[in-house]
Structure 1
Amino acid sequence: MSTDQPPPDQPPEDDPFSKRPPPPPPGGPPPGGQPPPGGPPPGSPYDSPYGGGSPYDNMPPPPPPYGSGYGGGYGGTDPLSGMPPLADTGRRILARLIDWVIIAVPLAIIGIPFDIYQRATRNGDGFDNTVNSLNGGSQLVFQLITIVAYIAYDTVLTAKNGQTIGKKLMKLRVAMLNDGTTPPMSQSLLRAVVLWLPALVCCACLWPLLLLILIMVDKPYKQGLHDKAAKTVVVTVPR
């Protein structure tokens, strides 16, 4: 029988009641929760696919909130954060009048073969009332041409860059409310239909007045019914 005894501070190796510190996990940090000196070992949870440190280090910055180059941060939940100021109501009215004249002059020339002026003289009515009230075949064709001209003009130019000729002269543009981009063709068409169709069919004076009142009282985005339908706003163009 051996008389060798283990050192007093060290329990026997076969002592089942002895507690030894567990070995460190492979590739992990040493006991105590601190990474080893000189940086974490390969494969440790401190590694980052971006080159060390937090997984969020060296990530590319987020893109600007609007694709049209307005810049500015998100700054909260306001969809207009970073966008130019909303358009002044007076400039919107001038832009709309310019667009109306641009379309009305060619239509006036086209209307000569449709006998609209002689019929207007006989009835004593104005141009708009004549176009909207006549039921003859030629007048109906002219009314359809008028509707297509106004809606197509507004739709195509708005979908192209957000500007009709009137808005371009007044330094305004139409933008999507959620991100400031140019409205796509579908939204531009919806906006143009709500803007022009009621006025050309039945409410030549009442509908534009209603849209104007809504633009003036709407808060905070100055949206008429056509803007609300298409989810657009009208903003100024940076000079």
Structure 2
Amino acid sequence: MSQSPPPPPPPGGYGSPPPAGGYGAPPPPPVGVPRPGELVDRFVARLIDGVILGVVYGIVYSIFSAIFLRGFGYSTGEWLLFWIFASIVISVVWVGYFAYLESARGATIGKQVMKLKVVGPDGVANPTLEQAARRNVWLAANLLNIIPIIGAVLSFLASVAAVVMIAVGINGDPQRRQAWHDRFAGGTQVLKVG
């Protein structure tokens, strides 16, 4: 009398491999289908944009230095005016760069290089200028530099706190990869489109 082998286990049962996205996670979308942008891609995009804006910062710093700080004999008032004007202009340039490009093109230069796109709450169209500005309002922490003596420290700490909260938020939301700044903007999302 021969015995037949036991029947195979049911799909998804004991002995079958876990789903592609990890245990219990939905499988990732096929290549070419937009999916939430990962933290590393978004970091590299911000780094590229930071280098571009760093050049702009250097130019603005040089211009305002030439205007307000002529030589080494500048007064405290001239130094204060320099920091007020430079902080305002730099903050406007940073927020404006991200808000304009994200609302007009759906991506900054860094995001274009990394094949990322910002979409509005509907998940399809670019965010409005207001949504993009709200999404990037944390970049205006540079305005704290206008406070004498402790402004630079406050600006740095506020920026680091915002970046850490964004990174934790992105990693804490595996489905949509949205952080507090996306929710503050009404539900914007960064998608990997390539």
Q: Report TM bin, short chain.
A: 0.5 to 0.7
- Quote how far apart the aligned CAs of 1:214 are: 1.4
- The question of whether the paired residues in 2 share the 8 Å contact of 1:151 and 1:193 is answered with yes
Give the letter aligned to residue 161 of structure 1: R
Q: Counterparts of 1:205 and 1:193 in 2: how far apart (Å)?
A: 14
1:209 aligns to what? Answer: 164
Q: 2:175 aligns with which of 205, 209, 220?
A: 220
Give the letter aligned to residue 175 of structure 1: V
SS at 2:117's partner residue?
strand
- Quote how far apart the aligned CAs of 1:206 are: 2.4
1:191 aligns to what? Answer: 135
- The question of whether the paired residues in 2 share the 8 Å contact of 1:192 and 1:226 is answered with yes
Give the letter aligned to residue 146 of structure 1: I
**Alpha carbons of structure 1 residues 234 and 199: separation in structure 2 relative to 1, 3 Å:** farther
SS at 1:222's partner residue?
coil
**Alpha carbons of structure 1 residues 180 and 199: separation in structure 2 relative to 1, 3 Å:** farther
Work out which of the two has the higher radius of gyration on C-alpha atoms and give 1 or 2: 1
- The question of whether the paired residues in 2 share the 8 Å contact of 1:199 and 1:205 is answered with no
Q: Please give the per-residue CA displacement for 1:133-154, whole angstroms capped at 9, x wherever unaligned.
A: xx70111100001100001100
Q: Counterparts of 1:229 and 1:219 in 2: how far apart (Å)?
A: 18
**Alpha carbons of structure 1 residues 146 and 199: separation in structure 2 relative to 1, 3 Å:** closer
| Correspondences of 1:55-204 after superposition (within 5 Å) | 84-115=34-65, 136-194=80-138, 196-198=139-141, 201=144, 202=155, 203-204=158-159
When the two chains are superposed, the root-mean-square deviation of aligned CA atoms in Å is 2.5
- Which of the pair is proportionally richer in helix? 2
Q: Counterparts of 2:63 and 2:99 in 1: how far apart (Å)?
A: 27
- Quote how far apart the aligned CAs of 1:199 are: 5.8
2:21 aligns to what? Answer: none
- The question of whether the paired residues in 1 share the 8 Å contact of 2:92 and 2:140 is answered with no
Aligned pair count reads 140
Q: Counterparts of 1:166 and 1:113 in 2: how far apart (Å)?
A: 26
Q: Counterparts of 2:49 and 2:96 in 1: how far apart (Å)?
A: 12
> Alignment identity in percent?
28
Q: Counterparts of 1:216 and 1:85 in 2: how far apart (Å)?
A: 14
- Quote how far apart the aligned CAs of 1:167 are: 0.3
Q: Counterparts of 2:177 and 2:106 in 1: how far apart (Å)?
A: 17
Unmatched 5+ residue regions in structure 1?
1-82, 120-134
- The question of whether the paired residues in 2 share the 8 Å contact of 1:175 and 1:232 is answered with yes
Unmatched 5+ residue regions in structure 2?
1-32, 70-78, 145-154
* TM-score, structure 1 normalization: 0.53
Higher RCO (CA 8 Å, separation ≥ 6 residues): 2
- The question of whether the paired residues in 2 share the 8 Å contact of 1:212 and 1:224 is answered with yes
